[in-house]
Amino acid sequence: MSRLGVVVNPTAGRGRGTRVGAAVHAALLRRGHTVEDLSAPSLAAATARARHAAVTGLDAIVVVGGDGMVHLGSNVVADTELPLGIVAGGTGNDVARALGLPQGDVEASVRAIEHGLARGGRRIDAVSVGPPEHSAREWFVGVLSCGFDAAVNARANTMTWPRGSARYVRALGAELGRFVPYGYKLTLDDAVWESAGTLAAVANSPVFGGGIRIATDARMDDGLLDVVVAGPFTKAGVLQVFPGAYRGRHVRHPAVQVLRTRRILLEPDPRLGAIPPAAFADGERVGPLPLLAEVHPGALTVLG
Ligand X SMILES: Nc1ncnc2c1ncn2[C@@H]1O[C@H](COP(=O)(O)OP(=O)(O)OP(=O)(O)O)[C@@H](O)[C@H]1O
Which residues are near ligand X by CB under 6 A? 9-13, 40-43, 46, 65-69, 90-92, 283-284
Asked if residues 225 and 186 have their Cβ atoms less than 8 Å apart, the reply is no
Decide whether 9 or 75 has the Cβ nearer to ligand X: 9
Q: How far is the CB of 218 from ligand X (least distance, A)?
A: 20
Q: Which residue is nearest to ligand X (CB)?
A: 66
Q: How far is the CB of 239 from ligand X (least distance, A)?
A: 23
3-state secondary structure of 96: helix
Decide whether 153 or 301 has the Cβ nearer to ligand X: 153
Q: How far is the CB of 140 from ligand X (least distance, A)?
A: 13
Q: Which of 205, 188, 260 is nearest to 74 (CA)?
A: 205
Asked if residues 82 and 53 have their Cβ atoms less than 8 Å apart, the reply is no
Decide whether 44 or 180 has the Cβ nearer to ligand X: 44
Q: How far is the CB of 215 from ligand X (least distance, A)?
A: 19
Q: How far apart (Å, rounded) are the C-alpha atoms in residues 172 and 113?
A: 37
Q: How far is the CB of 260 from ligand X (least distance, A)?
A: 27
Decide whether 269 or 284 has the Cβ nearer to ligand X: 284
Decide whether 34 or 157 has the Cβ nearer to ligand X: 157
- Buried residues in 130-145 as b, exposed as e (16+ CB within 10 A): beeeeeebbbbbbbbb
Q: Please, which residues have CB within 8 angstroms of residue 30's CB and are 6 or more apart in sequence? A: none
Residue 88 CA: distances (Å) to CA of 29, 187, 259, 280: 19, 34, 30, 20
